[in-house]
Copies of this chain bind each other. A is one copy, B any other.
């Protein structure tokens, strides 16, 4: 499909191919390239162990950025000093091929920890990767960052902001699955926009969008060594520069939120072994932090996730999870709804169990929990816990 992903904004090109990091014949190396230098912003894992690729990006995120290299099949983490050297060698070579500075490149990896990062196959593939970059190849790039993902994750957004050359738009791609969690676990997301935007405004808008999206999904409770969300803005649209006080800032921020939420929900739906998406809407939090904590705690509870898999309307597990989130809850008035049906309001509520079980059989289960403690809301997403999750991860 044309321009429905990371190359939706003007001036961006992408490519993806199989270079041999993965044994099986699927894409494992991706490039995202901008004609002109971008303002960049990113959020990175809080794990103490960090990938050499991620460390490289951390150093360059405040520079003008021209391109992002990404690979799957090897996390480039805790894999010895030789791999650090290989990382530098690859970046050096990519800069030569693209005619950029090394400092204008970002790098992201996902895959197994502890295996030496292969230099040969990557170096060999770089010329073709660079040569094949195009407006159309965004899905090849999106495929190259998949690990146990079953679906390609791409999306686009419009902003309604007019520029000299064109309307400002956005595009994105992500990989998820595996240990998706609060604080960005084994998750890569790349977002592009052709907006002219100041670094401060981009950073602020990205942080807000990530807090409401990627940081509100959970597949299990681990946090990876490689997670990053990066947003590149190349200014191709020629709009008047967006800063935090601009009248266009809200529209820009809303576009970024839309992209991030859409990618985050795609990631949660495609959690390892998942059969259902769980959406947890929390209302009535005493503060935003309380509401977020409870939403994530419910969405991340193994017991509740197993119950959703079995279509069990076990609201006791919802109360128990919510209660263990160290948040203020009005326990005498708190309410629980499953798929729109009230099941608890401080006391057990009679409801049609058969009808509810039937509703829970769909591909999305919505929980609403009202803390009755204040006015703050939050939404969290997760997926059910299935035998398939265990099967994937024991192998």
Contact assessment for A319 and B46 in the assembled complex, using a CB-CB cutoff below 8 Å: no
Contact assessment for B322 and A393 in the assembled complex, using a CB-CB cutoff below 8 Å: no
**A114 to chain B: which residues have CB within 8 Å?**
315-316, 319, 344, 348
Q: Does A301 contact B (CB under 8 A)?
A: yes
- Min distance, Cβ A107 to any Cβ of chain B, angstroms: 19
**A344 to chain B: which residues have CB within 8 Å?**
78, 114
Please encode chain A, from 221 to 239, with 1 for each CB lying within 8 Å of some chain B CB and 0 for all others: 1111100000000000000
Q: Does A309 contact B (CB under 8 A)?
A: yes
Please encode chain A, from 322 to 347, with 1 for each CB lying within 8 Å of some chain B CB and 0 for all others: 11101111010000000000001001
Contact assessment for A394 and B312 in the assembled complex, using a CB-CB cutoff below 8 Å: yes
Q: Which residue of B lies closest to A221 (CB)?
A: B221
A residues sitting closer than 8 Å to B (CB atoms) are 46-49, 75, 77-81, 112-116, 178-179, 183, 185, 220-225, 300-304, 306-307, 309-310, 312, 315-317, 319-324, 326-329, 331, 344, 347-348, 385-387, 389-395
Beyond A48-B327, A78-B344, A113-B316, 19 additional pairs, beta carbon < 8 A: A47-B324, A48-B322, A48-B324, A48-B331, A77-B316, A80-B347, A113-B315, A113-B319, A113-B320, A115-B348, A179-B303, A220-B302, A222-B302, A223-B320, A302-B389, A306-B389, A309-B394, A386-B390, A387-B391
